[in-house]
Structure 1
Amino acid sequence: MKAVALYGTAGVLVLSGLSALGAAPPGDVGTDTAATAEAAGTAVAAARATAAGITFGACPKPEGLPAAVKCGTVRVPLDYADPYGKQISLTVSHAHATGKPADRQGALIYNPGGPGASSMYFPMATAVPAWKPLAAAYDLVGYAPRGVGRSAPLSCEDPATNAEEPTAAPIHPSEAFKRKKIAQAKAYAAGCARKAGPALRQYNSLNNARDLDVLRAALGERKITFMGASYGTYFGALYATLFPSHVRRMVFDSAVDPDPQQIWYGNNLAQSLAFESRWADFRTWVAKHDKTYHLGANESDVLASYETARARLTDKPAGSTVGPAQLQAAYLQAGYYDDVWPADAYALSQYLKGNAKPLIKLAAPDRAAAKENENGTAVYTAVECNDAPWPTDWRVWDADNTALARRAPFETWDNAWMNLPCAYWQAPQQQPLDVRTAEGALPPTLILAAERDAATPYPGALELQRRLRGSVLVTERNAGTHGIGGGRNTCVNRYLDDYLLTGRTPVRRASCAPHPQPDPVSLEKRTLPQPRPAL
């Protein structure tokens, strides 16, 4: 389920940290020796972080951040059951609130999802108009979660291997192709185990939630104000379950379904099905603008144009770099963000007319980003594989994905191959925590969701609201952009700002009309909107 979106008081004592954990529902935490030890270890680490704080200074050049953003580190245990054992450092970025000191409300911590994504860039949001009201009231804090970037980086293979040459991506793979992908998945899982060793098991969502509490303490915040997008909503929900008394305000933007039965195998199947509908949304928009793109007057004809491009790239990759797999990866972004639709449609139209340059620019692998991409994939794989049991019988994967691909061919097998290493994982796998909070345990929390989101399908937001008592859901109707807070919908942003600035929420649910779809780009224009970075 790889999905990405853009965008106190000191003195916490060990005993108070342990008593806060007692507010979680019986049976969810603390019912076995390991969970009790990790709870105690988190309280120890938080108390230590409160005393140490974070020393912020100039950011290392590789971060590429402006001088106004400062960076530091916070130390966390590799294993919370052994808080006095090996420590790792998480990198943190920070920008002071831009408003009057008297109006400052503390730190707002942001996580963009992944797993495997970093929010080190987040303090730069002070310059983005939609974020200025929040930047005036809050210090904006980003960080690289464990395993990501310079935060005890995880790797599973040589980055040069990860920067693939043009590859096939059959929507109905042959038995020979399946055997090849099984072998690759086994090799990748073995590489993760070999390179990380016993530490591999420590890269998981529960530890990400514990790390978040240590970061809260290091910032000197008695209670956390947090906004998580996509996967960030899942470990944010784990945090709310583990540490309900530490929550001030929390925003869950594009929510993962936290049902333990869905983590993560079921969620990935649901995601593949949802992408088929969103892929159709893109084709319908292209057909609506056929006078601009000439790819077909209905969505079926646009699909035929895409399949023509896929067939040509199978025979002859574009620029010796873009084959069917690169094409599919690039056009998957159309399922995440509709602001890339004009660039995607333009590149496809030009390619079919004999000009491959826009498509190569859109879809060719970025060799300079190979190391970063390999790291992101390694963390994604480790977290999802460690979080929950996965089917270990290939026949289950084969039957489920073969059946699903008949209904949803666009993303199904690509998603399966991404996650298949979990079938052969060599680290112990956890049982997912039952995300659930009692009535009154949490202050009101805010859930944002687009009705046609493919990466985190809408039923997940309904399930999260059911499990977090007192939460409020704001829905962008008939829209599918993934990650809507601080985006192009002013109605959504009003609810977001009102909540984070005042704590006010709608009674239980509210809805917003969809943001406008993008305007088509004339084929005569040469300056095109660029797709956002995506993991």
Structure 2
Amino acid sequence: MDLTGEETAMSVAKDERGRSWGRRAVVAAAVVLSSVVVVPRAAATSSSLSEFRPCEPNPAAWCATLSVPERWDAAATTGMVHLNVVKRAATGPGGATKGVLLADAGGPRGGSAGALRGSWYEQFTKRVRDAFDIVAIDERESGIVCQGPQLSAALPLAPEVGTFDALVADNVRYAASCRPAALKTIDSLDRARDLDALRRGLGVDAVGFFGVSYGTVTGQALAELFPGTIRAMVLDSPQYPRLSTQDYLVTAAAGAEDVARGFAGWCAAHQDDQPEQGSCRSLARVIGTGRVTAERVVVHLRRLLTLAEAGVLVDDRGGTVTADALSAAFFGLLHPQDLPFHLGERADALAGLRARQREDVANRLVAEPESDTQTLLRCNDFYDRSVTTYGQWLSLWHRGRAVAPTVRTSSWHWTWMRACVGTDLGRWRPLPFPVAVPLLVTSMRYDSVTPWTWARRLASDASAPLITYDGFGHGAYDATIWYEPGRHCVAHPVEGFLLDGVEPADTRCQGATAVPGS
């Protein structure tokens, strides 16, 4: 395998779109700086944007404050929320020739402005930084304080009838703890309304939008509410909020299984490589003699899961490896993106696992209470209250296992979604993506946080092109990805779409960690 970056990226055009939506791409970026401040209701509840001033201690960024109603559906009777805004002015000689690009870094954690003020800005390619003022706001969930759920992250992934009632009670306690109570119902529709208020404050009729990961949920809400204000939208590694809670978790489990199988395919293809190149040699030797196929790797991984579920799997230091830890292992393949050596390290770790006699399992640790508003937003965006009983939750677990026999479930999605069970959270039911909004979808091929199937489904729904980076990671458009051919293969159509309105064909970009036949 060539790791020098000299290999050319493979781009496979699946259709002949190549169309232009014929409008100048304008980019407006909203970036978060610090905590949201909630103040008592003022006489005027309309939104307003303060004057931009150089940020401290980074004068290369510009800071302002956006004031919006605490509750958009009750603007006349609630207070105001003051959101920090960050702008990175266009660096080209002509200034912001393409306008404003609104940006959402995902999370959700309420930190897009701080991210843009810092290193996230470097992930935008030079052509985009030259042509656009990139702006982002401090998402409103930063202004809420909730005493986080303690049991959801502490309990084993597999449902237990003896702990279900305690789990529900803890979830209800969590939802009731959020302050101010007026912000308890926040969802991505509220975030989208904040972004549109920012657009109005910037004095532009239309903007571009770039969102990655959870920021794609906000982008889809923005398209639903304000389709006529978007000149071009790029959604990278998208979430798919149109699924029911049950289908969301089942497809997430299938996505995690896809990543595990992708890893098996990569291992089979690189069992003879040198360790310094990113090799699966150590794991192939443990699996046995003869040529190791992808299917043999999968069989070995499932054997490890069986040992872990029996409580007899240990690592090379003798520490017990639980089934939950094994299920979560493939989330570690996300960063850094498309790095063969990182996959090789994971193969080495798996090669060190072995069986031992069962020993007493240590007492479970319950998480200390801490502030958590991510769960609140996720529940309001994705929880449809269709799973409320232990029987329903157990049935959903078995559905996930049926499509993910190697990893059982997507541990990340399962853990945060079960923190919603039993609460009164959840209200947004998104409409189909408006086909009138110019959309480009990008995705890594193997991504356990936002499965490739979600990107494919969103692109299909919106009749939008899909750029797939064939490799492991989270976030396909990123100027800091080390592998130059893959990086440029994604960046070129994104730049053409945002700057010039050129809609590319569906494209596959060869990465350094591409899996043969994927």
What TM-score does the superposition give when structure 2 sets the normalisation length? Answer: 0.70
* Corresponding residue number in structure 2 for 1:90: 83
Structure 2 residue aligned with 1:362: none
Deviation of 1:285 after TM superposition, in Å, equals 2.0
* Structure 1 residues 448 and 422, CA gap change in structure 2 (3 angstroms): same
Q: Which residue matches 1:238? A: 221
How is 1:140-179 mapped onto 2 (pairs within 5 angstroms)? 140-147=134-141, 151-157=142-148, 169=156, 173=158, 177-179=160-162
Could you tell me which residue of structure 1 aligns to residue 23 of structure 2? none
Question: Is contact 1:226-1:250 (8 Å) kept?
Answer: yes
Instruction: For residue 242 of structure 1, report the CA deviation from its aligned partner.
Output: 1.3
Tell me how far 1:136 sits from its aligned partner: 0.8
Maintained 8 Å contact 2:262/2:446: no
Distance change in 2, residues 1:299/1:162 (3 Å): same
The equivalent residue for 1:489 is 487
Check 1:83–1:273 CA distance in 2 against 1; reply closer, same or farther (3 A cut): same
Is the aligned partner of 1:195 residue 2:178?
yes
8 Å Cα contact 2:441-2:459 kept in structure 1: yes
Out of 362, 380, 393, the position equivalent to 2:389 is 393
Q: Does 1:266 align with 2:247?
A: yes
Change (3 A) 1:111 1:68: same
What is the CA distance between 1:210 and its match in structure 2?
0.9
Which of 108, 113, 117 is the aligned partner of 2:106? 113
Q: What secondary structure is seen at the aligned counterpart in 2 of 1:412?
A: coil
Over the aligned positions, Cα root-mean-square deviation in angstroms equals: 3.9
**Which residue does the alignment assign to 1:283?**
264
CA distance in 1, matches of 2:199, 2:88: 15
Matched-pair contact (CA < 8 Å) for 2:213–2:236 = yes
Partner secondary structure for residue 110 of structure 1: strand
Q: How does 1:414-429 map to 2 (within 5 A)?
A: 414=411, 415-427=413-425, 429=426
The structure 2 residue matched to 1:249, chosen from 229, 232, 247, is: 232
Q: Secondary structure at the match of 1:227?
A: strand
Contact 2:101 2:134 in 1 (8 A): yes
Higher percent of residues as helix: 1
Q: Is residue 406 from structure 1 mapped to residue 406 from structure 2 by the alignment?
A: no
CA contact (8 A) 1:454 1:480 kept: no
Q: Is the 8 A contact 1:253 1:448 kept in 2?
A: yes
Q: For the residues of structure 2 that align with 1:430 and 1:377, how far apart are their CA atoms?
A: 14
Residue in 1 that maps onto 2:512: 516
CA contact (8 A) 1:168 1:323 kept: no
User: Following TM superposition, by how much is the alpha carbon of 1:302 offset from its aligned partner in structure 2, in angstroms?
Assistant: 5.3
Tell me the amino acid that sits aligned with residue 285 of structure 1. Answer: W
Aligned letter for 1:496? V
SS at match of 1:136: helix
One-letter amino acid matched to 1:332: F
Cα distance in structure 1, aligned partners of 2:470 and 2:267: 17
Contact 1:54 1:219 in 2 (8 A): no
Distance in 1 of aligned mates of 2:82 and 2:303: 49
Displacement of 1:90 in angstroms is 2.2
Does residue 430 of the first structure (1) align with residue 427 of the second (2)? yes
**Kept after mapping to 1: 8 A contact 2:217/2:239:** yes
Q: Which residue of 2 aligns with 1:360?
A: none
Task: Report the equivalent of 1:464.
Answer: 458
Q: SS of 1:141's equivalent?
A: strand
Q: Which residue of 2 aligns with 1:295?
A: 283
Q: How many residues align?
A: 431
Write the letter of the residue equivalent to 2:148.
Answer: E
Give me the whole-angstrom Cα distance separating, in 1, the residues matched to 2:84 and 2:458.
29
Code of the aligned partner of 1:155: C
Distance 1:420 1:163, change over 3 A: closer
Q: 1:279, 1:335 within 8 Å by CA — same for their partners in 2?
A: no
Taking structure 1 as reference, are residues 347 and 384 closer, same or farther at Cα in structure 2, changes over 3 Å only?
same
CA displacement 1:421-444 (0-9 Å, x = unmatched): 3221134x3251313436xx54x3
Q: Distance in 2 between matches of 1:192 and 1:217?
A: 33
Identity %, equivalent residues: 22
TM-score calculated relative to the size of structure 1: 0.68
Alpha-carbon spacing, 1:493–1:347, altered in 2? closer, same or farther (3 Å): closer
8 Å Cα contact 2:444-2:452 kept in structure 1: yes
Quick check: 1:89–1:152 contact (8 Å CA) kept in 2? Answer: no
| C-alpha contact 1:453 1:482 (8 A) present in aligned 2 | yes
What is the rounded CA distance, in whole Å, between the counterparts of 2:304 and 2:452 in structure 1?
27
The one-letter amino acid of 1:510's match is: D
Tell me how far 1:139 sits from its aligned partner.
1.9
Query: Distance in 2 between the 1:419 and 1:88 partners?
Result: 27
Secondary structure in 2 matching 1:101: coil
Structure 1: unaligned runs, 5 residues or longer: 1-43, 60-64, 355-368, 520-535
Structure 2 distance, partners of 1:146, 1:321, is: 41
Contact 2:338–2:472 under 8 Å retained in 1: no
Superposed CA offset, 1:407-465 (max 9, x none) = 314152733332123221134x3251313436xx54x3322244554433444345434
* 1:398 aligned counterpart, secondary structure: helix
User: Does residue 1:222 correspond to 2:205, yes or no?
Assistant: yes
Q: Specify the alignment match of 1:136 in structure 2.
A: 130
